[in-house]
Amino acid sequence: MSPLETLASALGVWAVWLTVRQNRWCWPLGLLMVLMYAWIFYDGRLYSNMLLQGVYAVLQGYGWWQWTRGGSNHSGVQVNRLSAQGLFFSLAAGGLGALLLAYLMATFTDAAAPWLDAALSAFSLVAQVWMAQKRLECWPLWVLLDLLFVGLFVQQGLYPTAALYGVFTLLAIHGWLTWGRDRALVNA
């Protein structure tokens, strides 16, 4: 357990807690966390996750913009649901991305877990985009992904990160309930 991993884990908990509360400051805090994790995953040879952190860095800016200036009134998006078509398209894109990334990692790198790492990374991008758009469906997807990440990180000996993703799972459940309640209040 490195001090960098411990600090990144603490920042991660704080950032997701702010996300559950729909506090826009989750995005700059999340940016610090993902930059730290890019290095941690590079060092652990989880290259798909390392690349994922770079994309997350860009998505932190997108999320900040969506939450502060997005929506029809340009005052930030509200919690909403995906259409069936949007759900299908997003999950299909995640599946295709997972297959392509896994093939590249298995063929051209010494990645420690190329197939699982790639699948979790690709679907994490789907969940992150949904989160930036305040799609309620981001939370059940995060619950599933976070549980699978716990197993991957335990397997790789990244125990503080595995613990972090265990906490993320609990926060995702809380976020799912909280955002669902908030959406129901707005639509009542």
pLDDT at 14: 95
Tokens representing residue 30 in the block: 């999340």
pLDDT band at 188 (very low <50, low <70, confident <90, very high): low
* Number of Cβ within a 10 Å radius of residue 39: 15
Q: Which residue has the tokens 């998006």?
A: 77
Q: Using alpha carbons only, how large is the chain's radius of gyration in Å?
A: 16
- Residue 187, pLDDT > 80, answer no
- Residue 1, pLDDT > 70, answer no
pLDDT band at 73 (very low <50, low <70, confident <90, very high): confident
pLDDT tens readout for residues 35-65: 999 999 899 888 878 888 999 999 999 999 9
pLDDT at 158: 85
pLDDT at 133: 95
- Residue 5, pLDDT > 90, answer no
- What is the C-alpha separation between 77 and 135, in angstroms, rounded? 10
pLDDT at 185: 78
Residue 160, CB-side half-sphere exposure with 13 Å CA sphere: 16
pLDDT tens readout for residues 17-34: 999 999 999 999 999 999
pLDDT at 59: 94
pLDDT tens readout for residues 138-165: 999 999 999 999 999 999 888 888 998 9
DSSP of 38-52? HHHHHHTT-HHHHHH
